[in-house]
Amino acid sequence: MIAKRYKIYLFISIICFLLTLVGVSVQEHLWFVNPLTLGGLFGISILTHFLSMNEYYRYATIFNVERLFTRIIIVGMVSLGLIISEPLLLYFGVFELENTKSSQVIDLVVIGATFVYFLVSIMLYRKLIFHRKDNMVIRQWGLFIIILMLSAIAMIEHLHLPEIVWKVMVIAGFLVFFPLLFRIKWIADLKMRVKWLSVFFLLTINLISLAVIQKMIGMGSIADGLISPFYCNPFLLLLSGSATAYGLLSMFALVFNLPISSVIEEQNTEIRSYQEMSQALQNRESEEQIFERLFNICYKNTQSNAGWLMLQYETVPQTVHTSNIYQEQIELINAKIGFHDLLQAKSDEKPYYYFPDLIKAKVFTDKQSLFQSLIIFPIFDKNEQLLATISLVKPFPEGFDEYMINMVRGYIDQSKLAFENIQLLQETIESARYKEELQIAQKVQADLMPQNFPESDYFEIAVFHESAKEVGGDYYDFNQRKKDQLAIVIGDVSGKGTSAAFHMAQMKGIFQSLIQISITPNHFLTMANRAISNCLEKKRFITLFYIMLNFSERKFQYSRAGHCPMLYFDFNTQSVDYLAGEGMGLGIIRNDSYRNFIEVKERVLNEGDVIVLYTDGLVEGRSSDENEQYGYQRLKKCVEVHNQRSAEAIKNAILNDFKGFTDSGLHKDDTAVLVLKVKNLD
């Protein structure tokens, strides 16, 4: 049915256009052929052609921007060719018609080609405007189309419409189209190569559009007054103006987007790397396969030109994988830097060994050497036993910066969690007693949850965690990259037991990896959602509350992903309130539209302020008769009474109040509580 309407409209358009050309040639010989009739025929031709393309491109599945821009350029080159060859067409027309008639016919051909070009442009641009569309965009586009159709009728000069009518149409059309100009979300989904091509395509399209518009302005009266000239033609003004404006804005947006495109692609690559490591765990790959995968990820993302992987077999490290380097060269480097002594002197303060200049270290003497900077990452298990070492090399000094080092450490932390979970799974399978299996899982989970927080003049923290079963899905963590900055996260995996604990471990790996790249709360939640969506089965999700505190600037930012609201005591106002904000759990929406459900809020930080984070096991704990929940109001009242005390005392007061209400803490859900109190901000 759609194809049938498209063909009918196109057929009517062609017939009306041909009748217009014939009418111009014979209007002096037929009394019923006059400028109003011819203008009407031409208007119908343009209007039906507009309807035909609207039907054709409405349901076309084309979104490939290269094909889309190529179509516009082809149509534009044809239209521009007709305009440039107008004198040649006029020359050939002299053989058939008088010069005046020939000029009118050619004018109609040129203006018809111009209309077709801009119609094709705006209809194909619609595919870009509708990328990730919503109801508001659809309504705005529909209103713009209605104004365009009315202006197609108003362009007939012999209708003698008042000047104010077509001016109002033009102004209204541009006002309606203005918000659509900024519908350029498609740019974010393009790869770097396609972005460069798109800039070239759009530059070509814009040059064609400007050349065609310049020609239309210079024509003055079109086809001896059959339709309004360009400067007072509402349809042509709206059509050419909107198409050209969108093309120009898209081109400039692409140009300004290019400098940060490589950074965005690097971050996307990192996210895919985290997902790849999680997938390796789920596929139960062997230890050597996982380490080899880890090496390849680190090698690629640091843009190293050589490297090698060594696995620890009993007490002897053996090289199992190399890239662009020979075994003899590896042995020479290891001997020069004292590789074995470095590994034996391992400490927590030195999680890696960096040699920024191998020439100065006298490992090599030739400045043309391909190996001038070296970094070594030893990988230990939770029992401090060496598992493997990853060595990466670059052909110039100072080849590895802090960002690269933190990124690799994030990958290694993720892989260590994978091995811990693999060990847990193997011990579970091999164990004969279920109780022993759960004790192992409980220990692993306890090791994953931070028990000791750093001492600081800025803050003090107290925490409590208890699972409904031996293990659970409640999770809290922190990261202090700088002395005056602290990131805190608390989460709750849907479900209970070992499966929830397993996903909690994945969340810890994602948090500790992402926090290394210093991103804002909304970017953290977006990237975490991508990683979680690839790790969790569809029926699972994770709620989260993320806070980034900056004590030197006296402020903090927070985002909520479907988690319980934060309880906040403001020392200046002496008030206790719940801070919620919009948000949806990680893994519920598994596409890029998740970013639309993230809200970042910012608050001023004062000395004496108290932040209380918790999971729903606290507020949903029931009384002994199971008829009443502990609830938000009891928690709020408890903090109102005890907010002047230390963080540890506030936490104990909450737990005592909770246990008293629930009959000595008998409850059926995992429970976690984290209390932070601001001490000194000077």
CATH of the domain at 400: 3.30.450.40
Beta strands in 171-252 (DSSP E): none
Tracing tokens 């050419």 back to the chain, one arrives at 240
Task: Among 262, 279, 311, give the residue marking a domain's end.
Answer: 262
Tell me whether strands 306-313 and 316-323 are parallel, antiparallel or unpaired. antiparallel
Q: Which pLDDT score, from 0 to 100, does residue 98 have?
A: 45
Q: Is residue 458 part of a domain?
A: yes
Q: Which pLDDT score, from 0 to 100, does residue 67 have?
A: 84
Residues 171 and 221 in one domain: yes
The residue with greater pLDDT, 636 or 49, is: 636
Residues 476 and 603 in one domain: yes
Instruction: List the 316-323 sheet strands across, edge first.
Output: 316-323, 306-313, 386-394, 373-380, 353-355
| 216 three-state secondary structure | helix
CA distance 452 to 348: 15
**Which range among 289-293, 441-445, 576-580, 659-663 has the greatest average pLDDT?**
576-580
Q: Is residue 424 part of a domain?
A: no
pLDDT at 95 over 50: no
Residues 412 and 463 in one domain: no
pLDDT at 429 over 50: yes
The amino acid that residue 665 corresponds to is G
Instruction: Evaluate whether 131 touches 252 at the Cβ level (below 8 Å).
Output: no
* DSSP per residue, 563-616: PPPEEEEETTTTEEEEE------BTTS-SGGGGGG--EEEEE--TT-EEEEE-H
| Interacting residues of 298 by C-beta distance below 8 A, sequence separation 6+ | 304, 307, 377, 390, 392, 408, 411, 412
Angle between helices 234-282 and 163-181 (to 10 degrees): 10
Q: Which pLDDT score, from 0 to 100, does residue 219 have?
A: 62
The band of 654, judged by pLDDT with boundaries at 50, 70 and 90, is very high
CB-based burial, 196-224: b 16+ in 10 Å, e otherwise: ebbbebbebbbebbeebbebbeebeebbb
The residue with greater pLDDT, 118 or 678, is: 678
The band of 682, judged by pLDDT with boundaries at 50, 70 and 90, is confident
The residue with greater pLDDT, 97 or 617, is: 617
Q: Is residue 165 part of a domain?
A: yes
Residues 297 and 247 in one domain: no
**Distance, first Cα to last Cα, the chain:** 73
Instruction: Evaluate whether 472 touches 670 at the Cβ level (below 8 Å).
Output: yes
Angle between helices 192-219 and 65-84 (to 10 degrees): 30
* pLDDT, mean of residues 286-315: 82
Q: Which pLDDT score, from 0 to 100, does residue 547 have?
A: 92
Residues 533 and 589 in one domain: yes
Tell me whether strands 459-466 and 474-482 are parallel, antiparallel or unpaired. unpaired
CA distance 272 to 89: 58
* pLDDT, mean of residues 572-589: 87
Q: Which pLDDT score, from 0 to 100, does residue 412 have?
A: 79
Residues 79 and 144 in one domain: yes
Q: Record the pTM.
A: 0.46
| Interacting residues of 562 by C-beta distance below 8 A, sequence separation 6+ | 541, 543, 544, 583, 584, 585, 586, 588
The amino acid that residue 590 corresponds to is R
Residues 258 and 295 in one domain: no
**Which range among 87-101, 264-278, 465-479 has the greatest average pLDDT?**
465-479
The band of 368, judged by pLDDT with boundaries at 50, 70 and 90, is low
| Number of domains comprising the chain | 3
Nearest to 411 by CA among 602, 277, 260: 277
CA distance 63 to 68: 7
Q: Which pLDDT score, from 0 to 100, does residue 603 have?
A: 92
Angle between helices 35-58 and 135-154 (to 10 degrees): 160
pLDDT at 343 over 60: yes
Q: Is residue 667 part of a domain?
A: yes
Tracing tokens 């932040």 back to the chain, one arrives at 611
Instruction: Evaluate whether 382 touches 244 at the Cβ level (below 8 Å).
Output: no
CA distance 47 to 174: 19
DSSP classification of residue 189: G
Instruction: Evaluate whether 230 touches 219 at the Cβ level (below 8 Å).
Output: yes
Q: Is residue 430 part of a domain?
A: no
The band of 611, judged by pLDDT with boundaries at 50, 70 and 90, is very high
pLDDT at 303 over 80: yes
Q: Is residue 405 part of a domain?
A: yes
Task: Among 220, 243, 262, give the residue marking a domain's end.
Answer: 262
pLDDT tens string 467-487: 766 566 788 888 887 888 899
Partners of 394 in the β-ladder: 373
Residues 409 and 485 in one domain: no
Domain region containing 136: 2-262
The band of 263, judged by pLDDT with boundaries at 50, 70 and 90, is low
Instruction: Evaluate whether 515 touches 406 at the Cβ level (below 8 Å).
Output: no
Write out the two tokens for 260.
């940060």
The residue with greater pLDDT, 76 or 605, is: 605
Task: Write phi, then psi, for 476 (nearest 5 degrees).
Answer: -140, 155
CA distance 47 to 41: 10
**Which range among 1-5, 69-73, 546-550 has the greatest average pLDDT?**
546-550
pLDDT tens string 154-191: 776 556 677 788 788 889 989 999 999 988 888 877 77
Specify whether the backbone of 551 is left (phi greater than 0), alpha (psi in -120 to 50) or beta: alpha
Q: Is residue 297 part of a domain?
A: yes
Write out the two tokens for 193.
């190569």
CA distance 375 to 281: 26
Residues 555 and 661 in one domain: yes
Share of the chain above pLDDT 70, in %: 72
The band of 640, judged by pLDDT with boundaries at 50, 70 and 90, is very high
The residue with greater pLDDT, 105 or 467, is: 467
Residues 464 and 397 in one domain: no
Q: Which pLDDT score, from 0 to 100, does residue 43 have?
A: 66
Instruction: State the CATH number of the domain containing residue 650.
Output: 3.60.40.10
pLDDT at 144 over 80: yes
CA distance 448 to 565: 24
Residues 95 and 178 in one domain: yes
pLDDT at 18 over 70: no
Instruction: Evaluate whether 268 touches 188 at the Cβ level (below 8 Å).
Output: no
Q: Is residue 431 part of a domain?
A: no
Q: What's the mean pLDDT when you consider all of the chain?
A: 78
Residues 639 and 593 in one domain: yes
Write out the two tokens for 343.
């590994």
Write out the two tokens for 308.
């090698």
pLDDT at 266 over 80: no
The band of 202, judged by pLDDT with boundaries at 50, 70 and 90, is very high
The residue with greater pLDDT, 293 or 4, is: 293
Task: Among 262, 281, 313, give the residue marking a domain's end.
Answer: 262
* pLDDT, mean of residues 372-400: 86
Q: Which pLDDT score, from 0 to 100, does residue 554 have?
A: 92
| Interacting residues of 545 by C-beta distance below 8 A, sequence separation 6+ | 489, 490, 491, 558, 559, 560, 561, 563, 564, 566, 613
CA distance 47 to 18: 15
Widest distance between CA atoms in the chain: 107
